[in-house]
Amino acid sequence: MSEAVTFAVPHITLGEDVAAAVVLRDKASVNDGEIQNFAATRLAQFKVPHQVLIVNEIPRTFTGKVQRIGLAEKLGLAGPNKATCENEAALIAPRTPVEEKLARIWAKFLGLAAVGVADNFFELGGHSLTAAQVISQIENVFGKRLPLRVLFQAPTIDQLARILRQEKPATPWSSLVPVQPNGSRLPFFWVHGESSNAFLPRFLGPDQPFYGLVHQSQNGKPARFTEVETVAAHYLEEMRTVQPEGPYFLGGFSFGGTVAFEMAQQLRKKREEVALLFLLDSEFPGDDIPNSPKVLTKIPLRDKVHRHMRNVAVLGAQEKLVYILVRVRGKITERTARIGAILKKGVSKVCLAMGCPLPLLVRSYYILDIYGKAHRNYVPQLYAGSAIYIKSIPQ
């Protein structure tokens, strides 16, 4: 390259994205994809330009300086107003058969009518369990087995299509996802962070290495670890492949916070330093921090009927009908969910007994059932270190 500049361009979901304009040296032969792949080996994922323009010259001011503000419009990547920008961003449709197949897969599992090749999977509502379904479907359609971490590192159809076109052997399953492995600081390990795995690196900065620890059984195989203690020990083993010694920075969301708590306990027993333990919306059996009033006794059916009759008595005819329909629909949904859970439990048992991979529709139920039992059987011990505990309170 003879010259290059990065600048902001409008994006329909992100607001702004990164693009680059490049001037090649004489007789140089390189395309935009090769430049992006080269940048991906040296930059954090969010710094890699999602669009690369090869131009003859980069527009400058009359003093000869590059003016990044307004550069997108000068190079034809932005319209004169927001509506035009959004229309142009929305027109980034699939350009190849591979991108078309990926777009259909994403639209199916995200519940969208259409997906653009530059749209971020996690910005569209995807999370780790949905990502596992997408990765499994990709294997069915393309015949290639990809590790889950690929979707965190290449969260757009454009980026994922480039990876699928590469001929590389399948890598073994791992719970450890190197979301942002670059940086000079000690890494932060985030347990069961779901879609936040894609967002947190932006707030932590490019110099902060960030690793996610994701659920078991997302590849359809039976859970190897069914207790909080064994899950924590497994995650520590994976974590030490990146950082053999402390101090460690740990965090976890929901049940992942319980696992992170146990990881910290096991580290301290081995006299390893835990510099940060961050728990978000986690619960612990027995003496949990209360978040909302709980019903301690079962309300008799007679009292429920009297309460509903009093509520209906003060309503008009149409309001009475709405009140009754809402409650009936809720009961039907509740019963349907119970029947669905029974069916999923049966399917899981049959598949495990026959040695077959778990179908996509039951994997989430299966692993959450495992976690529920592990949580109930876990007896947390007094933690001698410091921790940050954040609990959301429903309004």
- The predicted pLDDT at position 44 comes to 57
Q: Is pLDDT at 81 greater than 50 in this prediction?
A: no
- The predicted pLDDT at position 151 comes to 79
Q: Give SS3 for 275.
A: strand
> Is pTM beyond 0.75 here?
no
Contacts of 279 (CB under 8 A, 6+ apart): 251, 252, 257, 260, 261, 387, 388, 389, 390
Q: What is the DSSP letter of 76?
A: T
The mean pLDDT of 75-98, rounded to a whole number, is: 59
Residue recorded with tokens 């996802």: 177
Region of poorest pLDDT, from 40-44, 49-53, 98-102, 329-333: 40-44
The mean pLDDT of 152-170, rounded to a whole number, is: 77
CB 27 within 8 A of CB 134: no
Superfamily of domain 97-280: Alpha/Beta hydrolase fold, catalytic domain (3.40.50.1820)
The topology (CATH level 3) of 3-90 is GMP Synthetase; Chain A, domain 3 (3.30.300)
Contacts of 256 (CB under 8 A, 6+ apart): 190, 191, 192, 193, 213, 282
Q: Is 371 left (phi over 0), alpha (psi -120 to 50) or beta?
A: alpha
- The predicted pLDDT at position 87 comes to 39
In 3D, which of 375, 195, 384 has the Cα closest to residue 274? 384
Q: Is pLDDT at 387 greater than 90 in this prediction?
A: yes
Q: What is the DSSP letter of 41?
A: T
CB 107 within 8 A of CB 113: yes
Residue 188 to residue 268: CA distance in whole angstroms: 17
The mean pLDDT of 303-323, rounded to a whole number, is: 80
Region of poorest pLDDT, from 98-102, 111-115, 279-283: 111-115
Q: Is pLDDT at 98 greater than 80 in this prediction?
A: yes
- The predicted pLDDT at position 288 comes to 47
Query: If you average pLDDT over each of 108-117, 173-182, 277-286, 368-377, which comes out highest?
Result: 368-377
Q: Which H or E run contains 54?
A: strand 51-54
- The predicted pLDDT at position 359 comes to 80
- The predicted pLDDT at position 353 comes to 83
The mean pLDDT of 185-203, rounded to a whole number, is: 86
Q: Which H or E run contains 230?
A: helix 228-239
Ordered by start, the domain boundaries in the chain are 3-90, 97-280
Phi, psi for residue 280 in degrees, rounded to 5: -120, 120
The mean pLDDT of 105-109, rounded to a whole number, is: 87
Neighbour tally for 283: CB within 10 Å: 14
Q: Is pLDDT at 161 greater than 70 in this prediction?
A: yes
As a three-state string, the secondary structure of 312-369 is HHCCCHHHHHHHHHHHHHHHHHHHHHHHHHHHHHHHHHHHHHHCCCCCHHHHHHHHHH
Q: Is pLDDT at 30 greater than 80 in this prediction?
A: no
Task: Tabulate helix, strand, coil % of the chain (nearest 5).
Answer: 45, 15, 45
Q: Is pLDDT at 119 greater than 70 in this prediction?
A: yes
Residue 296 to residue 106: CA distance in whole angstroms: 43
The mean pLDDT of 133-151, rounded to a whole number, is: 79
In 3D, which of 239, 182, 215 has the Cα closest to residue 370? 215
Q: Which residue has the higher pLDDT, 146 or 376?
A: 376
- The predicted pLDDT at position 290 comes to 46
- The predicted pLDDT at position 240 comes to 92
The mean pLDDT of 61-75, rounded to a whole number, is: 69
Phi, psi for residue 373 in degrees, rounded to 5: -65, -40
